[in-house]
Structure 1
């Protein structure tokens, strides 16, 4: 079990595309559900972290420095499964 929150980084275009808007709504719901188990950072538009991770499409989700989702808004269950795989219960 991890004591530190798992870092979740969300990348969207600015302004967000439809997938990005859906992802931002989903992330708000996930933040409410997981509270202090995750730490969410949202990046809108161009950001140096995009090239750091090699991300070339948005929206994208990086969990614990591991690119998990790119180019689509995941379903809630897909996102929760990715969090479980990263050790979030």
Structure 2
């Protein structure tokens, strides 16, 4: 027979796993296909960037690192990478 403690632990694990799964879905995903060939809303932090094949690609012949950022103040403080 299954003990009450085992049932409580199993219940906790099921709730924990379901909570993590739904939080991921609710957070959403930002997607940009650059179909207008413009990096609207993107901010260059460094490097040289080019839109090619539906993506925003770093193009730096001297291997200088750079980054681009996207965001909206309504999103709050989040880290995207």
Pick the TM interval, shorter chain. Answer: under 0.3
Bigger Rg, structure 1 or 2: 2
Alignment TM-score, normalising by the size of structure 1: 0.22
Greater per-residue helix proportion: 1
Greater per-residue strand proportion: 1
Structure of higher RCO (CA pairs closer than 8 Å, 6+ residues apart):
1
Alignment TM-score, normalising by the size of structure 2: 0.23
